[in-house]
Structure 1
Amino acid sequence: MKVKTIINILIIAIISLNLTACEDNKSSNNTKEKEIKFTPSLPMPDVKEEYINKYFKLSQLSNAKKDPVPAMKIGYAYSEKLHDYEKALEWYKYADSMIALGENSYFACYALQKLKRYDEAISWCKKAIDLKWDKALFRIGDIYKELNDYDKAVFYYKQSFEKTKDKMSANNLGFIFSKKLNNYQKAEKWYKEAIKLNNYESYKNISSLYHEKLKNDIKASAYAIAVIDTKYTKASVLRVLQNDMKIPNDIIQKGYELQLNSDEFPIKYKGKLDLDE
């Protein structure tokens, strides 16, 4: 091999190594750029030593010094594992002092709702909504329901359903229209929206609506029977229909046949009722 050829090969190899080094440096710089740290304006809440690595990790506690997400997760642990909503709120406020996050604001709203500090809860929920955390629409609707402000509850539950298709929003709308606003047609409509999303509680609620308000015991029976062997046992459903609602067996049988043959019922019970036993 000629000396000139060898020199050319060496030059190409050196250039390749330099290019690789440049790419590595770029990758390292990009990684550094992605490591964003936040400076909290509130002091970090204290924790009990025995909670570390039991309810949250030591690494989360360390990272929470400069990152709102692990701080929020520690707050969530206090809320959902320890049911210490005051302490959870401390952590949510600490996380918020780094940067406002929709999810964190939502959790703060929930903690304040549990503490029955409703004005503060509403403020945090509205903050979450402004930050595009749509789950807060259901939460603020729930707060207004607890405050017996049903017009505002309806407003936010409707928004929640429109944006998230949340089945509990539809169910709660059915409840408000049935029990509080006495608009039974709207109650029926919203319970059916929840039923389309397989909300079992709405089957029970619409059954009560048909029996108590709309005086249709065939449909009351049908909706109750449809969810046998899901959330409810056959014995418990028949006890409600026969003993509590005092519906005759022949009407219960018609309800059974209705839910079995009608497209109105997304869920159907196909087993035997054994009404004569």
Structure 2
Amino acid sequence: MIKYILLALLLINITLNASDIRLERYANTKTWLQDADSNADSAFNLGLTYHKKIKDYDKAEYWYKKAYKLDNKGTDIIDSLGFLYTHKKNYKEAIKWYKLGVDAGDGDSAFGLALLYEENLKNYPTAIKYYKKAYSLGHIGATYNLAMLYHTTLKEYPNAIIWYKKAHSLGHKSSAYNLAILYKKKLKDIPNAVKWYKKAIDLGDSKALDGLSLLLKDNNLTLATAYVIAGIGNGYTKKETLKYLRNDWKVDEKTIKKAYKLQLKLDIPKHYRGGI
């Protein structure tokens, strides 16, 4: 009797999943359903579809766990379960799954765990521990997030500087800009702010052109104007930029023309060559 009951439940489960018309909107789901009970990739892809696209988190949990049973070494599966449980605010389960990923050497799981401790549990010492673990596992974003935690939340600026510099050395684009902001606003260290704005500009950060121009404006209006003009095309048209310089900054035409020529000689990745 028990055997028949279990078989009936299995058939009901298969029917329910196979008849979910929500899946019909997405490519490959029919194929995945056909072998999801024996293929970890198919089960995982169904989990992702329910999780990211359909937003049915219970179905996502079902298929992620099915995938894990078929492949308990798959760190993508483990990390996705940690993320899913975090979203569902089941932090105990999220921590359990993320730690499985960390034990398997997965940087994404360590990063997810650090985020959970920082953003959801406000446990900053533990967040720091796992950001550093993620960094040791090669996760560049963890380096930047740790710098941000030291900078904006803990106000531990020497530590923030250390980790921004680590992030910059690994190629994280926003780290130089944020370090410039830290030097400018919190430490009032203008030479270092200029240095790091320039490093951000070298990485193509258009915000750094604005930041550096504002920093230089009071002491060197021509150079500041040159950086503003160099940014034409990065969010602002020539017309908008010149209107800003003439009306807001009160820059005269002679200085604007001089600044245009100067920006062509600046050591920056991109210049504006459209004329004034």
Structure 2 equivalent of residue 31 of structure 1: none
CA contact (8 A) 1:60 1:70 kept: yes
- 1:54 aligned onto 2:54: yes
Structure 2 equivalent of residue 232 of structure 1: 236
Percent identity, aligned pairs only, is 26
- 1:242 aligned onto 2:246: yes
CA contact (8 A) 1:167 1:193 kept: no
Q: How far is the alpha carbon of 1:78 from its aligned partner?
A: 8.0
Q: Secondary structure at the match of 1:231?
A: coil
Root-mean-square deviation (CA, aligned residues, Å) is 3.2
Q: How far is the alpha carbon of 1:197 from its aligned partner?
A: 1.2
- 1:109 aligned onto 2:114: yes
Q: How far is the alpha carbon of 1:106 from its aligned partner?
A: 1.3
Structure 2 equivalent of residue 169 of structure 1: 175
Of 190, 196, 221, 2:202 maps to 196
Correspondence list, 1:51-200, <5 A: 51=51, 54-55=54-55, 59-65=63-69, 66=72, 67-76=74-83, 84=87, 86=89, 92-100=94-102, 101-115=106-120, 117=122, 119=124, 120-147=126-153, 148-162=155-169, 164-200=170-206
CA contact (8 A) 2:68 2:78 kept: yes
Q: Which runs of 5+ in 1 are unaligned?
A: 1-34, 37-46
**Counterpart Cα distance in 2 of 1:168 and 1:52:** 27
Q: Which runs of 5+ in 2 are unaligned?
A: 1-38, 41-46
Q: How far is the alpha carbon of 1:76 from its aligned partner?
A: 4.8
**Counterpart Cα distance in 1 of 2:92 and 2:208:** 36
Deviations 1:28-67 (A, max 9, x none): xxxxxxx99xxxxxxxxxx9x9758625867545214534
Structure of higher CA gyration radius = 1
Q: How far is the alpha carbon of 1:95 from its aligned partner?
A: 2.6
- TM-score (norm. length: structure 1): 0.67
**Counterpart Cα distance in 1 of 2:139 and 2:52:** 29
Which residue identity lines up with residue 134 of structure 2 in the other structure? A
Deviations 1:5-38 (A, max 9, x none): xxxxxxxxxxxxxxxxxxxxxxxxxxxxxx99xx
Alpha-carbon distance change, 151 to 198 in structure 1, aligned in 2, over 3 angstroms:
same
Alpha-carbon distance change, 202 to 53 in structure 1, aligned in 2, over 3 angstroms:
closer
Deviations 1:132-166 (A, max 9, x none): 4343111100111112221111111112222x122
Structure 2 equivalent of residue 265 of structure 1: 268
Which residue identity lines up with residue 54 of structure 1 in the other structure? I
CA contact (8 A) 1:173 1:190 kept: yes
**Counterpart Cα distance in 2 of 1:52 and 1:61:** 16
CA contact (8 A) 1:109 1:124 kept: yes
- TM-score (norm. length: structure 2): 0.67
CA contact (8 A) 1:118 1:143 kept: no
Q: Secondary structure at the match of 2:217?
A: helix
**Counterpart Cα distance in 1 of 2:138 and 2:189:** 32
**Counterpart Cα distance in 2 of 1:124 and 1:103:** 10
**Counterpart Cα distance in 2 of 1:251 and 1:114:** 48
Consecutive aligned runs of 4 or more in structure 1 exceeding 6 Å deviation: none
Bigger helix fraction: 2
Q: How far is the alpha carbon of 1:233 from its aligned partner?
A: 2.8
Q: How far is the alpha carbon of 1:198 from its aligned partner?
A: 0.8
